[in-house]
A = this chain, B = another copy of it.
Amino acid sequence: MTHLVDERRTASPIITLTTDFGQSDAYVASMKGVILGVLPRAQIVDITHEIVPQNIMQALYVLSRASPFFPSHTVHVAVVDPDVGTDRRPIGVFTDSACYIGPDNGIFTHVYDHENVKEVRLLSDPAYHLPVVSNTFHGRDIFAAVAAHVASGVSPHHLGPEVPDPVRMDLPEPKQLADGSISGQILYADHFGNLVSNIPDSWLMNREDWRFKIGGVSISEFHHAYGNVMPGQLVVLTGSSGLIEVAVRNGNAADQLNVLPGDPLKIE
């Protein structure tokens, strides 16, 4: 696949948006208006605005699933920000391949753990904010404006001083137990009701004799595609992000198993 990176740098800087704002109000569009005021040629891409209100961890997971598929130099704005207007810091995280703009509340923990972070900056210089900054909507007044300036080529050191200690969240990690079994948990159910766990498929070491225990049932069907089982049947497979996933063919596993994010998945 050819990446026409040079053209993109000059022609169409990409800015993505991940928020809990929903799509019925003026919030998201106001952010886009601000971005286009600074950078008319921006390619703005919605990751999602359907994060459950105040659910920082869900935003972290969704953004971490999408971001690897964007060209380098993409600017990702993430705003799940219950502490807007308090002393929580607005930050920009610069890595080898991308930039992340949002509140310093742990929403970028996955970036700290999996990307090569070059610097984290406090977004303190008002030259890159809207002229008037509200106490309730930094997504529009700070983050959208800064993102557009960064995508326009403003260097990180202009934005504000370095932040040596950005806030981290505790993310649930899977464990390999002494008896060879694996203990993980469900991170979230997707739109289809597929249950995405935190266990990478590499942990299965290509063996196919595992048993998967979740929601009171035991599943031995590990397959490569939904279509390899009958409609309505439970199946375990490798999801599109390389994580073990529990699904029902043409059905909704979350509803059928009554499993919620945080519930355990055990593999024996």
Interface residues in chain A, defined as those with a beta carbon under 8 Å from any beta carbon in chain B = 1-4, 7-8, 11-12, 14, 16, 20-27, 29-34, 36-41, 43-51, 53-54, 62-63, 65-67, 69-71, 74, 82-86, 88, 127-131, 134-137, 140-141, 145, 149, 190-192, 224-228, 237-241, 245, 249-250
Which of B46, B136, B250 is in CB contact (< 8 Å) with A240? Answer: B136
Q: Nearest CB to that of A62 among chain B residues? A: B26
Q: How far is the CB of A192 from chain B (nearest CB, A)?
A: 6
Instruction: Check B191–A54 contact: CB distance below 8 A.
Output: no
The CA of A131 and the CA of B51, in the complex, are separated in Å by 30
Which of B71, B135, B239 is in CB contact (< 8 Å) with A37? Answer: B71
Q: Nearest CB to that of A53 among chain B residues? A: B192
Instruction: Check B66–A33 contact: CB distance below 8 A.
Output: yes
Q: Nearest CB to that of A45 among chain B residues? A: B32
The CA of A47 and the CA of B1, in the complex, are separated in Å by 26
Residues of B within 8 A of A88 (CB): 227
Residues of B within 8 A of A240 (CB): 27, 30, 134, 136-137, 140-141
Residues of B within 8 A of A127 (CB): 1
Instruction: Check B65–A30 contact: CB distance below 8 A.
Output: yes
Instruction: Check A225–B86 contact: CB distance below 8 A.
Output: yes
Instruction: Check B29–A66 contact: CB distance below 8 A.
Output: yes
Which of B24, B53, B62, B225 is in CB contact (< 8 Å) with A136? Answer: B225
9 other A-B residue contacts (CB within 8 Å) besides A22-B50, A25-B190, A27-B191: A7-B40, A26-B65, A32-B45, A33-B66, A40-B43, A86-B227, A88-B227, A134-B238, A136-B225
Which of B12, B47, B82, B145 is in CB contact (< 8 Å) with A41? Answer: B12
| 21 chain-A/chain-B pairs, Cβ below 8 angstroms | A1-B130, A1-B131, A3-B37, A12-B36, A14-B33, A21-B191, A23-B49, A23-B191, A24-B62, A25-B62, A26-B241, A27-B191, A29-B45, A31-B69, A33-B66, A33-B74, A37-B69, A53-B192, A85-B225, A85-B226, A136-B239
3 residue pairs, one from A and one from B, having the closest CB atoms: A85-B225, A22-B191, A137-B240
Query: Known contacts A131-B1, A145-B1: does B36 contact A8 (CB below 8 Å)?
Result: yes
Q: Nearest CB to that of A39 among chain B residues? A: B4
